[in-house]
Amino acid sequence: MEIFIYNEVSGEELDFHELARYLEEKGARVEVRGGFFSRFAHSLEDVAKALAKMRIFDPAKPVVQEEPLYGEIKYEQRVLAGKAKAGGVLYDGFALQSYMRSLLPRREISLDKLHLVITSRLLATYDTDDRRYHARAVILGYPAIISTSGIVEAPAKPPEFYLQRRLLGEDPLAEAQLKQKLRQKILDYGDVRMGEVLKGYALQVLFYQLFGEAFCEEKRCRLYNAHWQEELIEAQFSEPELCLRHEAMLKQWKEKRK
Amino acid sequence: MIFEKVEEKDVTQAIVGEFSRMLSEYAESDVIIVGGGPAGLTAAKELASKGVKTLIIERNNYLGGGFWIGGYLMNKVTVRAPGEKVLDEIGVPYQEYVKGLYVTDGPHACSKLIAAACDAGARILNMTKVDDVVLREGNRVAGVVINWTPISALPREITCVDPISLQARVVIDATGHDAEVVNALVRRGLMKVRGYGAMWVERSEDAVVEHTGEAHPGLIVAGMAVSTVYGLPRMGPTFGAMLLSGKRAAEVALEMLERE
């Protein structure tokens, strides 16, 4: 298995080589490739336009890709050129994945090749059951996408955070204090724990590609599909990192490769 | 007698003469900034201090927009880092409330920002409302059509007062959620707006600054107008994004002027 890591992160310091080293330990060959779009797209102007079409404006309505605004395309161009940071915009995750897949050359598509894109963009997928979008930390599939802002926004913060915030109203001073008080239970932008959490999501992606199984029921296993940030922190910082069953699956795969 | 003897006509001539001279000189500017709130004033300060001929158009009598007060009519305003650097530049004292969040007196910060824009050389037309835009080939915005604010408040039967036009190489819409210049383009079917989204203070400030830029050829949007145009999340009563969006708008305007 070859894993190709793409850096579509803007305004964040993340050690992709540390992530690569971790995945190599698990038995994969890993290459850090830089930007996905700069590698595969013929025109960044086309990419900017495509991204601008994926914006979600109403979480209750599936995105209908229509002509974007002049300024929306300009904004995406600035982000792609590294002149602006991505943030505050919600994109349709499946639309992004589908667009990225369309850019992958045929020779790059194989079950032995795992393309993993790490992005700062906040992604959501539309759920036909409750007919609304849900923010996502990871979009499994081909290519797989992990969203760093999704890691912060998708798993819920402790209930006390939301209850207190309702009481506080629009008070940035009090909210900042509340976040400081709860910092052991929540992940925030620029959090030093982000690199470790990223490894857990990358492992989910790898398991999905290898075994078609990304998640675990065990709360202390790194593959646990956490819906709360407190659970996510517990799953990613517990020892041993995997439950016995998943550890055995990985070991067996690693030995087969030898 | 304390004061010099001056006749009534001298006072009138001073007002009319100087206003006419200024209006005539600024019938063509490098940059027209519509809206004299924190974003517009910061942009004006930045541009005028670099020698750019800058005119602010403000529909109210007073400048400053919502920068005089914080939330709920309380006159303490907050900025998140790195917004405090603008307060440093204009010499406003502040204190760090929690890490990265600063609080200062609204009246002090607002009056200093107005003074900084004026000291830098920006000119101001207050009590003036933008009715429409001046367009050139390719529907490029090349100025604004203005009238006195009171005109729009009177019944149409008694206000048959034609507006006048001012030209500019770049126009900045810093009119807050109303996005008045943008809406002039919307009325002509030349632009669409998304309307602003739900409150999400953590990312809304970043998003407003990062989206500040050319929204239509010749037109930059800054401040909360950015939020309206792109459907970005609303933000709470924090002002760092307004100040930094004003700075970003000035940078973009300079790039556009150089490009010309």
Among the partner-chain residues B78, B97, B207, the one whose CB lies closest to the CB of A88 is B207
Distance in Å, alpha carbon of A57 to nearest chain B alpha carbon: 7
Distances from the Cα of B74 to the Cα of A164, B60, B78, B177, angstroms: 21, 21, 11, 21
Contacts of B135 (CB under 8 A, 6+ apart): B141, B142
Low-confidence ranges of chain A (pLDDT < 70): 170
Least Cα distance to B126 among B33, B27, B30, B12 occurs for: B33
Task: Give A-chain residues touching B72 at CB under 8 angstroms.
Answer: 170
CATH superfamily of A2-256: Collagenase (Catalytic Domain) (3.40.390.10)
**Cα distance between residue B37 and residue A5, in whole Å:** 45
Q: Report chain A residues whose CB lies below 8 A from the CB of B231.
A: 55, 57
- Within 10 angstroms of residue B88's Cβ, the number of other Cβ atoms is 11
Query: Which of B197, B200, B213 is nearest residue A71 as measured by Cβ atoms?
Result: B213
The pLDDT value given to residue A164: 87
Report chain B's mean pLDDT, rounded to a whole number.
Answer: 93
Which of A157, A165, A170, A182 is best to mutate for the B interface (most B CBs within 10 A)? A170
Report CA-CA distances (Å) from B187 to B109, B180, B181, B192: 36, 10, 10, 9
Distance CA A90, CA B142 (A): 33
Q: How confident is the model at residue B43 (pLDDT cuts 50, 70, 90)?
A: very high
pTM attached to this predicted model = 0.83
Encoded tokens for A97: 């994945």
Pick among A54, A69, A157 to test the B interface (most B CBs inside 10 A): A69
Q: Is B211 close to A75, i.e. CB distance below 8 A?
A: yes
Is pLDDT at B22 greater than 60 in this prediction?
A: yes
In angstroms, the separation between the Cα of residue A121 and the nearest Cα of chain B is 11
Query: Which pLDDT does position B197 carry in this prediction?
Result: 60
Of A70, A78, A170, the CB nearest to B236: A170
Neighbours of A28 (CB within 10 A): 20
Chain-chain contact of A74 with B199 (C-beta, under 8 angstroms): no
The closest CB to that of B231, out of A57, A79, A87, belongs to A57
Grade residue B195 by pLDDT with cuts at 50, 70 and 90.
confident
Which residues in B lie closer than 8 A to residue A70 (C-beta atoms)? 191, 214-217
Which residues in B have their CB inside 8 Å of a CB on A?
A: 71-72, 78, 80, 97-101, 103, 191-192, 194, 197, 199-204, 206-208, 210-211, 213-217, 221, 229-233, 236-238
Chain A residues with CB under 8 Å of B216 CB are 70-71
What pLDDT does residue A170 have? 65
Q: Which residues contact B46 (CB under 8 A, 6 or more apart)?
A: B120, B246, B247, B250, B251
> How many residue pairs bridge chain A and chain B with CB atoms within 8 Å of each other?
88
Residues of B in contact with A86 (CB under 8 A): 210
β-pair type (B54-57, B123-125)? parallel
Cβ contact B213–A74 (<8 Å): yes
Chain A residues close to B197, C-beta within 8 Å:
57
Residue A197 host element (H or E): helix A194-211
Task: Please judge whether A87 and B214 are an interchain contact, meaning their C-beta atoms are less than 8 angstroms apart.
Answer: no
ipTM over 0.90: no
Lowest mean pLDDT: which of A186-190, B156-160, B171-175?
B156-160
Phi-psi region of B10 (alpha: psi -120 to 50; beta: other; left: phi over 0): alpha
Q: What is the pLDDT of residue B199?
A: 45
CB-CB under 8 Å, B99 with A180: yes
**Considering only CB atoms, which residues of chain A are within 8 Å of chain B?**
55, 57, 69-72, 74-75, 78-79, 84-89, 122, 149, 170-173, 175-177, 180, 189
pLDDT digits (tens, 9 = 90+) for B94-137: 999 888 899 999 999 999 999 999 999 999 999 999 999 999 99
Query: What is the per-residue pLDDT across B47-98, written as a single tens digit (0 to 9) for each?
Result: 999 999 999 999 999 999 999 998 778 999 999 999 999 999 999 999 998 8
Q: Is the peptide bond before A240 cis (omega within 30 degrees of 0)?
A: yes
Residue given tokens 């400030």 in the structure block: B205
Contacts of B15 (CB under 8 A, 6+ apart): none
B203 to A173: CB separation less than 8 angstroms, yes or no: no
Q: Using 50, 70 and 90 to split pLDDT, how confident is the model at B157?
A: confident
Calculate what percentage of chain B has a pLDDT beyond 90.
80
Contact A171 B71 (CB under 8 A): yes
Of A74, A149, A176, the CB nearest to B98: A176
pLDDT attached to residue B238: 82
Interchain proximity A70–B203, CB inside 8 Å = no
Q: Above 60 in pLDDT, residue B200?
A: no
Per the CB < 8 Å rule, is B71 touching A85? no
Are A69 and B229 a contacting pair at CB < 8 A? Answer: yes
